[in-house]
Amino acid sequence: MPGKSRVIMLVDMESFYAGVEKSRHPEYRERPLAVVGEPSVPSSAVLAACAIAKRHGVRTGERLSSALAKCPDLVAIRPRMGEYIEISALIAGILEAYTDLVEPYSIDEMFMDVTGSLRLHGGSPEELARLVQSRIAVETGVRARFGIGANKIQAKLACDLVAKRTENGIIRIHTKKDWETLIWPEPIRHMWGVGSRMEKHLLALRILSIGELARTPVTKLKKRWGVNGEVLWRVANGMDDSPVSPWTEREQKQIGTTITLPRLYREAGEIETVLLELCTEIGRRARRMKRMGDSLSVGAGGEGGYRRSEGFHRRGILPDPSDITAELYREALRLFRDGWDGMPVKRLHLSLGGLLSSDVYQPSLFEDRERQRLLDRAMDEIKDRFGETAIVRGHSLTKAARAQDRADKIGGHYK
Protein backbone atom coordinates (compact mmCIF):
# COMPACT_ATOMS: atom_id res chain seq x y z
CA MET A 1 0.00 0.00 0.00
CA PRO A 2 1.39 3.44 -0.83
CA GLY A 3 2.64 5.84 1.79
CA LYS A 4 3.80 3.26 4.32
CA SER A 5 6.30 5.68 5.81
CA ARG A 6 3.60 8.02 7.11
CA VAL A 7 1.90 7.62 10.48
CA ILE A 8 -1.53 9.24 10.49
CA MET A 9 -4.08 9.10 13.31
CA LEU A 10 -7.76 9.91 13.32
CA VAL A 11 -8.84 10.86 16.82
CA ASP A 12 -12.59 10.43 17.33
CA MET A 13 -14.29 11.50 20.54
CA GLU A 14 -16.70 8.73 21.49
CA SER A 15 -20.29 10.00 21.85
CA PHE A 16 -18.74 13.44 22.17
CA TYR A 17 -21.68 15.55 23.36
CA ALA A 18 -22.82 12.84 25.76
CA GLY A 19 -19.26 12.35 27.00
CA VAL A 20 -18.92 16.05 27.81
CA GLU A 21 -22.22 15.99 29.70
CA LYS A 22 -21.26 12.92 31.72
CA SER A 23 -18.01 14.62 32.66
CA ARG A 24 -19.97 17.64 33.83
CA HIS A 25 -22.58 15.51 35.65
CA PRO A 26 -20.81 12.69 37.53
CA GLU A 27 -24.16 11.71 39.06
CA TYR A 28 -25.18 10.40 35.63
CA ARG A 29 -22.01 8.35 35.10
CA GLU A 30 -23.77 4.98 35.43
CA ARG A 31 -27.05 6.04 33.84
CA PRO A 32 -28.14 6.08 30.18
CA LEU A 33 -27.82 9.64 28.88
CA ALA A 34 -28.60 11.36 25.60
CA VAL A 35 -28.16 14.91 24.36
CA VAL A 36 -31.46 15.95 22.79
CA GLY A 37 -32.31 19.06 20.78
CA GLU A 38 -35.18 19.96 23.12
CA PRO A 39 -35.87 17.50 25.96
CA SER A 40 -39.38 18.87 26.54
CA VAL A 41 -40.46 18.03 22.96
CA PRO A 42 -41.07 14.28 22.32
CA SER A 43 -40.39 14.64 18.60
CA SER A 44 -37.00 16.28 19.18
CA ALA A 45 -33.98 14.41 17.79
CA VAL A 46 -31.30 12.60 19.75
CA LEU A 47 -28.00 14.29 18.92
CA ALA A 48 -25.74 11.91 20.86
CA ALA A 49 -26.17 8.90 23.14
CA CYS A 50 -23.73 7.47 25.65
CA ALA A 51 -22.56 3.86 25.52
CA ILE A 52 -25.09 2.75 28.14
CA ALA A 53 -27.97 4.30 26.18
CA LYS A 54 -26.71 2.68 22.97
CA ARG A 55 -26.83 -0.72 24.66
CA HIS A 56 -30.54 -0.07 25.20
CA GLY A 57 -30.91 0.58 21.47
CA VAL A 58 -30.93 4.39 21.54
CA ARG A 59 -29.51 5.77 18.29
CA THR A 60 -28.41 9.18 17.07
CA GLY A 61 -31.06 10.85 14.93
CA GLU A 62 -34.10 9.08 16.33
CA ARG A 63 -36.95 10.88 18.08
CA LEU A 64 -36.85 11.29 21.84
CA SER A 65 -40.20 9.50 22.16
CA SER A 66 -38.75 6.46 20.39
CA ALA A 67 -35.62 6.55 22.57
CA LEU A 68 -37.71 6.70 25.75
CA ALA A 69 -39.80 3.74 24.60
CA LYS A 70 -36.59 1.71 24.39
CA CYS A 71 -35.04 3.18 27.52
CA PRO A 72 -37.54 4.72 29.99
CA ASP A 73 -34.75 5.71 32.39
CA LEU A 74 -32.97 7.79 29.75
CA VAL A 75 -31.60 11.11 31.01
CA ALA A 76 -32.23 13.72 28.28
CA ILE A 77 -30.08 16.86 28.37
CA ARG A 78 -30.29 19.96 26.22
CA PRO A 79 -27.10 20.59 24.16
CA ARG A 80 -24.64 23.34 25.01
CA MET A 81 -22.86 23.90 21.70
CA GLY A 82 -20.62 26.64 23.03
CA GLU A 83 -19.27 24.19 25.59
CA TYR A 84 -18.71 21.47 22.99
CA ILE A 85 -16.84 23.85 20.68
CA GLU A 86 -14.72 24.96 23.61
CA ILE A 87 -13.87 21.39 24.64
CA SER A 88 -13.11 20.54 21.00
CA ALA A 89 -10.62 23.40 20.97
CA LEU A 90 -9.07 22.08 24.19
CA ILE A 91 -8.62 18.66 22.59
CA ALA A 92 -7.06 20.23 19.50
CA GLY A 93 -4.61 21.96 21.83
CA ILE A 94 -3.72 18.62 23.43
CA LEU A 95 -3.01 17.08 20.01
CA GLU A 96 -0.92 20.07 19.00
CA ALA A 97 1.40 19.35 21.93
CA TYR A 98 2.58 16.31 19.92
CA THR A 99 2.53 17.63 16.36
CA ASP A 100 1.75 20.87 14.54
CA LEU A 101 0.02 18.83 11.81
CA VAL A 102 -3.49 18.64 13.29
CA GLU A 103 -6.47 18.91 10.94
CA PRO A 104 -10.00 19.08 12.38
CA TYR A 105 -12.39 16.93 10.35
CA SER A 106 -15.42 17.76 12.47
CA ILE A 107 -16.10 19.03 15.98
CA ASP A 108 -15.32 15.56 17.40
CA GLU A 109 -12.84 14.15 14.85
CA MET A 110 -9.30 15.32 14.13
CA PHE A 111 -6.47 14.00 12.00
CA MET A 112 -2.90 14.22 13.25
CA ASP A 113 0.28 13.40 11.33
CA VAL A 114 2.93 12.19 13.78
CA THR A 115 5.40 10.96 11.13
CA GLY A 116 7.97 13.61 11.92
CA SER A 117 7.36 13.93 15.64
CA LEU A 118 6.97 10.27 16.67
CA ARG A 119 10.67 9.83 17.31
CA LEU A 120 10.63 12.80 19.69
CA HIS A 121 8.15 11.04 21.95
CA GLY A 122 9.56 7.52 21.70
CA GLY A 123 7.68 4.27 21.55
CA SER A 124 5.26 2.99 18.95
CA PRO A 125 2.26 4.78 17.39
CA GLU A 126 0.00 2.70 19.62
CA GLU A 127 1.87 3.83 22.74
CA LEU A 128 1.62 7.47 21.70
CA ALA A 129 -2.10 7.01 21.05
CA ARG A 130 -2.53 5.64 24.58
CA LEU A 131 -0.72 8.65 26.04
CA VAL A 132 -2.86 11.13 24.12
CA GLN A 133 -6.01 9.14 24.92
CA SER A 134 -5.17 9.25 28.63
CA ARG A 135 -4.51 12.97 28.58
CA ILE A 136 -7.80 13.73 26.78
CA ALA A 137 -9.68 11.63 29.36
CA VAL A 138 -7.99 13.32 32.34
CA GLU A 139 -8.33 16.89 31.07
CA THR A 140 -11.80 16.76 29.47
CA GLY A 141 -13.48 13.58 30.76
CA VAL A 142 -14.09 12.43 27.16
CA ARG A 143 -12.99 9.04 25.80
CA ALA A 144 -11.22 9.13 22.44
CA ARG A 145 -10.83 6.38 19.86
CA PHE A 146 -7.84 6.15 17.56
CA GLY A 147 -7.51 4.80 14.03
CA ILE A 148 -3.89 4.64 12.87
CA GLY A 149 -2.71 4.10 9.31
CA ALA A 150 -0.38 5.23 6.55
CA ASN A 151 -2.84 7.86 5.29
CA LYS A 152 -6.08 9.63 6.20
CA ILE A 153 -8.39 7.09 4.54
CA GLN A 154 -6.78 4.18 6.39
CA ALA A 155 -6.95 6.05 9.69
CA LYS A 156 -10.58 7.09 9.12
CA LEU A 157 -11.92 3.66 8.23
CA ALA A 158 -9.84 1.94 10.91
CA CYS A 159 -11.34 4.27 13.51
CA ASP A 160 -14.92 4.14 12.21
CA LEU A 161 -15.14 0.41 11.54
CA VAL A 162 -12.73 -1.30 13.92
CA ALA A 163 -11.58 0.86 16.86
CA LYS A 164 -15.07 0.99 18.35
CA ARG A 165 -14.99 -2.80 18.71
CA THR A 166 -11.66 -2.93 20.54
CA GLU A 167 -11.41 -2.76 24.31
CA ASN A 168 -8.96 0.13 24.38
CA GLY A 169 -10.42 1.98 21.37
CA ILE A 170 -7.14 1.91 19.42
CA ILE A 171 -6.43 0.07 16.16
CA ARG A 172 -3.58 0.33 13.67
CA ILE A 173 -3.57 -0.63 9.99
CA HIS A 174 0.05 -1.62 9.58
CA THR A 175 0.11 -3.79 6.45
CA LYS A 176 -1.93 -4.55 3.33
CA LYS A 177 -3.00 -7.77 5.01
CA ASP A 178 -4.35 -5.77 7.98
CA TRP A 179 -6.46 -3.73 5.59
CA GLU A 180 -7.80 -6.75 3.79
CA THR A 181 -8.54 -8.61 7.03
CA LEU A 182 -10.09 -5.77 9.01
CA ILE A 183 -11.72 -3.52 6.41
CA TRP A 184 -12.60 -5.55 3.33
CA PRO A 185 -15.24 -7.79 4.99
CA GLU A 186 -17.33 -4.76 6.04
CA PRO A 187 -20.63 -4.15 4.20
CA ILE A 188 -20.31 -1.59 1.41
CA ARG A 189 -22.70 0.78 3.22
CA HIS A 190 -20.10 1.21 5.98
CA MET A 191 -17.49 2.70 3.66
CA TRP A 192 -16.79 6.41 3.79
CA GLY A 193 -18.31 8.10 0.75
CA VAL A 194 -21.09 5.56 0.19
CA GLY A 195 -24.55 6.95 0.87
CA SER A 196 -27.88 5.19 0.54
CA ARG A 197 -28.22 6.00 -3.18
CA MET A 198 -24.71 4.82 -4.05
CA GLU A 199 -25.25 1.71 -1.95
CA LYS A 200 -28.24 0.78 -4.12
CA HIS A 201 -26.19 1.21 -7.31
CA LEU A 202 -23.35 -0.94 -5.94
CA LEU A 203 -25.70 -3.64 -4.69
CA ALA A 204 -27.26 -3.76 -8.16
CA LEU A 205 -23.79 -4.59 -9.47
CA ARG A 206 -23.54 -7.32 -6.81
CA ILE A 207 -20.84 -5.40 -4.96
CA LEU A 208 -21.78 -6.20 -1.37
CA SER A 209 -18.58 -5.51 0.61
CA ILE A 210 -15.68 -3.08 0.64
CA GLY A 211 -13.39 -5.90 -0.48
CA GLU A 212 -15.56 -6.66 -3.51
CA LEU A 213 -15.45 -2.99 -4.48
CA ALA A 214 -11.66 -2.97 -4.06
CA ARG A 215 -11.31 -5.97 -6.38
CA THR A 216 -13.58 -4.49 -9.05
CA PRO A 217 -11.58 -3.20 -12.06
CA VAL A 218 -11.19 0.54 -11.70
CA THR A 219 -11.91 0.96 -15.42
CA LYS A 220 -15.38 -0.48 -14.88
CA LEU A 221 -16.09 1.95 -12.05
CA LYS A 222 -14.73 4.95 -14.00
CA LYS A 223 -16.85 4.03 -17.01
CA ARG A 224 -19.93 4.06 -14.77
CA TRP A 225 -19.20 7.07 -12.52
CA GLY A 226 -16.20 8.85 -13.99
CA VAL A 227 -13.69 10.27 -11.51
CA ASN A 228 -16.03 9.44 -8.62
CA GLY A 229 -15.71 5.78 -9.54
CA GLU A 230 -11.94 5.99 -9.19
CA VAL A 231 -12.31 7.76 -5.86
CA LEU A 232 -14.49 4.93 -4.54
CA TRP A 233 -11.98 2.35 -5.76
CA ARG A 234 -9.07 4.18 -4.11
CA VAL A 235 -10.94 4.45 -0.80
CA ALA A 236 -11.75 0.73 -0.87
CA ASN A 237 -8.07 0.00 -1.46
CA GLY A 238 -6.86 2.37 1.29
CA MET A 239 -5.13 4.77 -1.10
CA ASP A 240 -4.88 8.46 -0.23
CA ASP A 241 -2.09 10.94 -0.96
CA SER A 242 -3.69 13.99 0.65
CA PRO A 243 -1.67 15.65 3.44
CA VAL A 244 -2.82 16.40 6.96
CA SER A 245 -3.02 20.15 6.69
CA PRO A 246 -3.79 22.51 9.57
CA TRP A 247 -4.71 25.28 7.15
CA THR A 248 -8.15 24.33 5.91
CA GLU A 249 -11.34 26.34 5.89
CA ARG A 250 -12.97 24.05 8.43
CA GLU A 251 -10.20 24.46 10.98
CA GLN A 252 -10.57 26.68 14.00
CA LYS A 253 -7.36 28.58 13.44
CA GLN A 254 -5.86 28.59 16.88
CA ILE A 255 -3.06 27.21 19.00
CA GLY A 256 -4.08 25.96 22.41
CA THR A 257 -2.67 24.27 25.48
CA THR A 258 -4.11 22.97 28.75
CA ILE A 259 -2.47 22.12 32.05
CA THR A 260 -3.77 20.14 35.00
CA LEU A 261 -2.06 21.48 38.11
CA PRO A 262 -0.58 19.11 40.73
CA ARG A 263 -2.74 20.66 43.44
CA LEU A 264 -5.31 23.38 43.89
CA TYR A 265 -3.70 26.77 43.28
CA ARG A 266 -5.28 29.38 45.56
CA GLU A 267 -2.93 32.37 45.23
CA ALA A 268 -3.11 34.71 42.23
CA GLY A 269 0.68 34.86 42.01
CA GLU A 270 0.93 31.08 41.64
CA ILE A 271 -1.65 30.98 38.87
CA GLU A 272 -0.08 33.92 37.06
CA THR A 273 3.28 32.15 37.10
CA VAL A 274 1.77 29.21 35.23
CA LEU A 275 -0.02 31.58 32.85
CA LEU A 276 3.35 33.09 31.95
CA GLU A 277 4.69 29.63 31.18
CA LEU A 278 1.68 28.85 29.00
CA CYS A 279 2.12 32.14 27.13
CA THR A 280 5.78 31.25 26.59
CA GLU A 281 4.76 27.87 25.17
CA ILE A 282 2.02 29.27 22.94
CA GLY A 283 4.22 32.09 21.70
CA ARG A 284 7.01 29.68 20.82
CA ARG A 285 4.68 27.39 18.90
CA ALA A 286 3.25 30.37 17.00
CA ARG A 287 6.73 31.57 16.04
CA ARG A 288 7.69 28.05 14.94
CA MET A 289 4.62 27.99 12.68
CA LYS A 290 5.32 31.56 11.49
CA ARG A 291 1.90 32.67 12.68
CA MET A 292 0.50 35.46 14.82
CA GLY A 293 -2.88 35.58 16.51
CA ASP A 294 -5.38 38.38 16.91
CA SER A 295 -7.29 36.98 19.89
CA LEU A 296 -6.48 35.21 23.14
CA SER A 297 -8.66 32.96 25.31
CA VAL A 298 -8.07 32.03 28.95
CA GLY A 299 -10.04 29.43 30.87
CA ALA A 300 -9.82 27.93 34.36
CA GLY A 301 -11.63 25.22 36.26
CA GLY A 302 -11.74 23.77 39.75
CA GLU A 303 -11.13 20.26 40.99
CA GLY A 304 -14.35 18.79 39.61
CA GLY A 305 -13.68 19.55 35.94
CA TYR A 306 -12.91 22.24 33.43
CA ARG A 307 -16.36 23.81 33.43
CA ARG A 308 -17.77 23.94 36.94
CA SER A 309 -19.66 26.77 38.54
CA GLU A 310 -16.40 28.13 39.89
CA GLY A 311 -14.72 28.05 36.49
CA PHE A 312 -14.57 30.76 33.84
CA HIS A 313 -13.63 31.41 30.24
CA ARG A 314 -12.66 34.80 28.81
CA ARG A 315 -11.68 35.84 25.30
CA GLY A 316 -10.08 39.11 24.29
CA ILE A 317 -8.94 40.81 21.08
CA LEU A 318 -5.27 41.78 20.97
CA PRO A 319 -4.45 45.41 20.06
CA ASP A 320 -2.37 44.03 17.15
CA PRO A 321 -1.81 40.45 15.89
CA SER A 322 1.07 39.06 17.92
CA ASP A 323 3.40 36.14 18.60
CA ILE A 324 5.31 38.04 21.29
CA THR A 325 5.29 36.32 24.67
CA ALA A 326 5.19 39.55 26.70
CA GLU A 327 2.16 40.82 24.77
CA LEU A 328 0.34 37.53 25.11
CA TYR A 329 1.02 37.48 28.83
CA ARG A 330 -0.21 41.04 29.26
CA GLU A 331 -3.55 40.10 27.69
CA ALA A 332 -3.72 36.77 29.55
CA LEU A 333 -3.29 38.59 32.86
CA ARG A 334 -6.05 41.04 32.01
CA LEU A 335 -8.46 38.22 31.08
CA PHE A 336 -7.55 36.16 34.14
CA ARG A 337 -7.95 39.03 36.57
CA ASP A 338 -11.27 39.94 34.96
CA GLY A 339 -12.67 36.40 35.20
CA TRP A 340 -11.21 34.81 38.33
CA ASP A 341 -13.45 34.92 41.39
CA GLY A 342 -10.83 33.77 43.88
CA MET A 343 -11.87 30.10 43.88
CA PRO A 344 -9.09 27.45 43.80
CA VAL A 345 -7.87 26.52 40.30
CA LYS A 346 -6.95 23.01 39.18
CA ARG A 347 -6.86 23.45 35.39
CA LEU A 348 -5.81 26.26 33.08
CA HIS A 349 -6.34 26.63 29.35
CA LEU A 350 -4.85 29.17 26.96
CA SER A 351 -5.40 29.52 23.22
CA LEU A 352 -4.28 31.98 20.56
CA GLY A 353 -6.84 32.44 17.78
CA GLY A 354 -7.27 34.24 14.48
CA LEU A 355 -3.93 33.01 13.18
CA LEU A 356 -2.33 34.71 10.20
CA SER A 357 1.11 34.87 8.64
CA SER A 358 3.81 36.60 10.68
CA ASP A 359 5.69 37.68 7.54
CA VAL A 360 3.91 41.02 7.66
CA TYR A 361 3.08 42.69 10.95
CA GLN A 362 2.26 46.13 12.30
CA PRO A 363 5.18 47.95 13.95
CA SER A 364 4.46 50.21 16.92
CA LEU A 365 5.54 53.81 17.30
CA PHE A 366 5.46 53.54 21.09
CA GLU A 367 6.83 50.07 21.82
CA ASP A 368 9.97 48.34 20.61
CA ARG A 369 8.20 45.24 19.30
CA GLU A 370 11.12 44.17 17.12
CA ARG A 371 13.41 44.04 20.15
CA GLN A 372 10.89 41.82 21.95
CA ARG A 373 10.59 39.57 18.90
CA LEU A 374 14.36 39.18 18.68
CA LEU A 375 14.52 38.33 22.39
CA ASP A 376 11.86 35.65 21.99
CA ARG A 377 13.62 34.18 18.98
CA ALA A 378 16.93 34.07 20.81
CA MET A 379 15.28 32.12 23.64
CA ASP A 380 13.67 29.80 21.07
CA GLU A 381 17.05 29.05 19.51
CA ILE A 382 18.57 28.19 22.90
CA LYS A 383 15.66 25.86 23.69
CA ASP A 384 15.92 24.22 20.26
CA ARG A 385 19.61 23.50 20.79
CA PHE A 386 19.77 22.63 24.47
CA GLY A 387 16.25 21.69 25.60
CA GLU A 388 13.08 23.30 26.91
CA THR A 389 14.53 24.23 30.30
CA ALA A 390 17.94 25.39 29.11
CA ILE A 391 16.69 28.94 29.59
CA VAL A 392 13.64 29.94 31.64
CA ARG A 393 12.27 33.05 33.24
CA GLY A 394 12.82 33.60 36.95
CA HIS A 395 9.18 32.81 37.75
CA SER A 396 9.76 29.27 36.47
CA LEU A 397 12.16 28.61 39.36
CA THR A 398 9.44 29.03 41.98
CA LYS A 399 7.50 26.18 43.58
CA ALA A 400 4.35 27.06 41.66
CA ALA A 401 6.06 26.79 38.27
CA ARG A 402 5.34 23.81 36.01
CA ALA A 403 7.79 24.35 33.11
CA GLN A 404 10.34 21.80 34.34
CA ASP A 405 7.65 19.23 35.09
CA ARG A 406 6.06 19.66 31.64
CA ALA A 407 9.45 19.30 29.99
CA ASP A 408 10.01 16.01 31.83
CA LYS A 409 6.67 14.50 30.82
CA ILE A 410 4.80 13.42 27.73
CA GLY A 411 1.03 13.50 28.09
CA GLY A 412 1.31 13.59 31.86
CA HIS A 413 3.76 10.66 32.03
CA TYR A 414 7.49 10.84 32.71
CA LYS A 415 9.70 10.04 29.76
Instruction: Indicate which residues carry an active-site annotation.
Output: 109
What residues pair up with 11 in beta bridges, in sequence order? 110, 146
* Best CA proximity match to 343, nearest among 313, 303, 316: 303
A 10 A CB-CB count for 266 gives 11
For residues 170 and 133, is the Cβ–Cβ distance under 8 A?
A: yes
Please state, in angstroms and rounded to a whole number, the distance separating the CA atoms of residues 225 and 222.
Answer: 5
What residue type is 284 in one-letter code?
R
Of the candidates 335, 411, 323, 1, which has an alpha carbon nearest to the alpha carbon of residue 180? Answer: 1
Question: What letter would DSSP give residue 183?
Answer: T
**Contact, 20 vs 34, CB < 8 A?**
no
DSSP 208: -
Q: Phi/psi of residue 314, each to 5°? A: -130, 140
Other beta carbons less than 10 A from residue 341's beta carbon: 9
Give the C-alpha separation, 346 to 305, whole Å: 8
Q: Where are the beta strands (DSSP E) in 192-306?
A: 254-265, 291-301
Q: How many CB atoms lie within 10 A of CB 354?
A: 16
